Chains A and B, each alone.
Chain A
């Protein structure tokens, strides 16, 4: 069994005062091509967990293996390298650069990825076509609807062919209909073989995943919904 993510007693404490144990010692496994939802109320530690998974933050204790690699032994340069190659992020507030076209925004994902200069633009165009925005390649994000903007962001997360896609409240800023478009896009990506972890406090969203990870006050309880 190959795991994309293995958390071995991973804990995150924010040094106070007062010290906050945002994530209590947690074991968590995510298999290749799994689609999980991380569910919990506000302040429960969802983002903390996602930042750890995305190598934007390091555990206070415990070990995180990403693609079988002990990430605690990596240098900052190597961690950044793994963010560039193995992880794709989708944020609630899109984080698109307003002075760049959609293609340029998607191309930005590979600027820090070693050896990616060749055909970068073509890959960005392909990614935008994959999310159904092939007709808005050279438009600016400011001219797009919220749902379209999030699809550009998904294209940016996909373009580097990551082994794990992390989404933090991807539908949080969208209405139900456009949110649904993003979720069906995730379904398609999952079907195509991608591993996804989606943070949400919305049950409708979490039901789309194969498995729900519940988190409350930093304590994770995993529920298997084998289908």
Chain B
């Protein structure tokens, strides 16, 4: 039962006044059941209007649920992609020397980097790679015909055999070269798929040759794809041996290391010393951002932004409910006067209007949560993400809606309660 206290007199005064005759006076009362049915009649008698009133809050809650859910879903996707590749990659290169125009620095990266690194625990594979300075153009036919249009400028990279594993490259056909090719200074080449296409070489079983300038190279393999260092897709890959002998490659330019999951940080601290025990400071080691930190960064950035947006939508929704409820208080002035005449106290009137806006808020919360979840599922489906949703979110939404309705309804309810019945009844309706 909702009951109204005496507005005019304090409790103390009432206790002193005992003179009142014993005739019991029944106080007016509104049972929860009646309150509930009054509220639901008011909300269902004009469903279109109810829905429109709730629309702002529905969209606010939907935005909140959808953005929180999508932030989590997207965050998970980013993290899992980093887990796959970035988190297991370590790269080493010489410190950039800020000298006087001295471009060619003597690198501290040794030629046997591969052996030194694969001895470390946690390294799956490692390889060195360097751009080779080749001014000659590349042909697939021996004759140097100046009119021939099948001449290309294609970058040449010298790589160690372990590089293919470290870059997670795969072959379309043929094989990778090995340490033996490098030691014998064999003129062999593995083609990136784009380079192979330009040179119109599709198979290697007939031992095709290409020409870098005048020098013939035997094509022993064609790449299908690579997970790292995508520049090699359009490159000629040759062993270090022939690169040093023919093109005077001075020193390896970079080391690429594929490490076990979780070992990146450790290898990062060990790689420089393993490669250059004397001068580890001259090497720069790039380790991936820690996946955990990354996940938190992404999630908190996205969440903060979206929470602000969702909060703003909710505020707009609350103003919408407050506005319409206030208008309906004015419209229903006659009804309020009638209810007071029929025995309603101010508190009964306030309870009804507050109850209506809270119920509206809860309804908006439920509809908004559904809309938000649908949005997450649809967006995830189009991006081929797996939707991730905090389980508490759909349940918190009606509570957020109720709170919105409570805040929005407080002023109109107070306004409704303060309407004088005499004035209200005089206004015709």
B405: Cβ under 8 A from any A Cβ = no
Across the interface, B9 reaches (CB within 8 A) one of A69, A75, A85, A92, namely A75
Chain B contact residues: helix, strand, loop or mixed? loop
Contact of A51 with B342 in the complex, beta carbons under 8 Å:
no
Chain B residues in 8 Å Cβ range of A112: 28-30, 339, 342-345, 348
Across the interface, A83 reaches (CB within 8 A) one of B3, B30, B46, B342, namely B342
Contact of B429 with A93 in the complex, beta carbons under 8 Å:
yes
Among listed A94-102, A195-203, A205-213, interface-contacting one: A94-102
Contact of B45 with A100 in the complex, beta carbons under 8 Å:
yes
Chain A residues in 8 Å Cβ range of B425: 56, 91, 95
B251: Cβ under 8 A from any A Cβ = no
Chain A residues in 8 Å Cβ range of B341: 54, 56, 83, 87, 89
Chain A residues in 8 Å Cβ range of B45: 99-100
Contact of B27 with A57 in the complex, beta carbons under 8 Å:
no
Q: Contacts A112-B28, A114-B26 known; A95 to B338 CB distance under 8 Å?
A: yes
Contact of A108 with B31 in the complex, beta carbons under 8 Å:
no
Chain B residues in 8 Å Cβ range of A83: 28, 340-343
Tier of interface size on chain B = 35 or more
Across the interface, A95 reaches (CB within 8 A) one of B23, B28, B337, namely B337
A73: Cβ under 8 A from any B Cβ = yes
Chain A interface, number of residues (Cβ within 8 angstroms): 38
A115-B1 Cα distance, complex, nearest whole Å: 11
Chain B residues in 8 Å Cβ range of A91: 338, 425
A109: Cβ under 8 A from any B Cβ = yes
Binary contact track B1-43/A, C-beta < 8 Å → 1, others 0: 0011111110000100101110101111111011000100100
A109-B38 Cα distance, complex, nearest whole Å: 12
A76-B4 Cα distance, complex, nearest whole Å: 7
B346: Cβ under 8 A from any A Cβ = yes
A113: Cβ under 8 A from any B Cβ = yes
A127: Cβ under 8 A from any B Cβ = no
Contact of B342 with A77 in the complex, beta carbons under 8 Å:
no
B78: Cβ under 8 A from any A Cβ = no
Chain B residues in 8 Å Cβ range of A194: none
A185-B425 Cα distance, complex, nearest whole Å: 23
A82: Cβ under 8 A from any B Cβ = yes
Binary contact track A46-85/B, C-beta < 8 Å → 1, others 0: 0100010010110000000000111001111110111111
B378: Cβ under 8 A from any A Cβ = no
A75-B4 Cα distance, complex, nearest whole Å: 9
A219: Cβ under 8 A from any B Cβ = no
Chain A residues in 8 Å Cβ range of B20: 70, 73
Contact of B27 with A78 in the complex, beta carbons under 8 Å:
yes
A157-B83 Cα distance, complex, nearest whole Å: 76
Select from chain A the residue with minimum beta-carbon distance to B9: A75
Q: Contacts A111-B38, A117-B34 known; A77 to B27 CB distance under 8 Å?
A: yes
B186: Cβ under 8 A from any A Cβ = no
Select from chain A the residue with minimum beta-carbon distance to B19: A73
A104: Cβ under 8 A from any B Cβ = yes
Chain B residues in 8 Å Cβ range of A77: 3-6, 27-28, 345
Most B CB within 10 A of own CB, among A68, A93, A114, A117: A114
Cβ of A102 to closest chain B Cβ, rounded Å: 14
Select from chain A the residue with minimum beta-carbon distance to B428: A93
Chain B residues in 8 Å Cβ range of A111: 30, 34, 38, 339, 342-344
Contact of A73 with B343 in the complex, beta carbons under 8 Å:
no
Chain A residues in 8 Å Cβ range of B339: 108, 111-112
Cβ of B19 to closest chain A Cβ, rounded Å: 8
Select from chain B the residue with minimum beta-carbon distance to A85: B26
Contact of A69 with B23 in the complex, beta carbons under 8 Å:
yes
B387: Cβ under 8 A from any A Cβ = no
Q: Jot down 16 A-B pairs with beta carbons below 8 A, ordered by A.
A: A51-B422, A56-B341, A56-B421, A68-B21, A77-B6, A80-B343, A83-B341, A84-B28, A91-B338, A95-B425, A99-B46, A104-B41, A111-B34, A112-B339, A112-B348, A113-B343
8 additional contacts (CB under 8 A) given A47-B422, A80-B344: A75-B8, A91-B425, A92-B428, A95-B425, A99-B41, A108-B339, A111-B30, A111-B342
The 7 closest A-B CB pairs, nearest first, are A84-B343, A112-B343, A75-B6, A99-B45, A80-B28, A81-B28, A114-B29
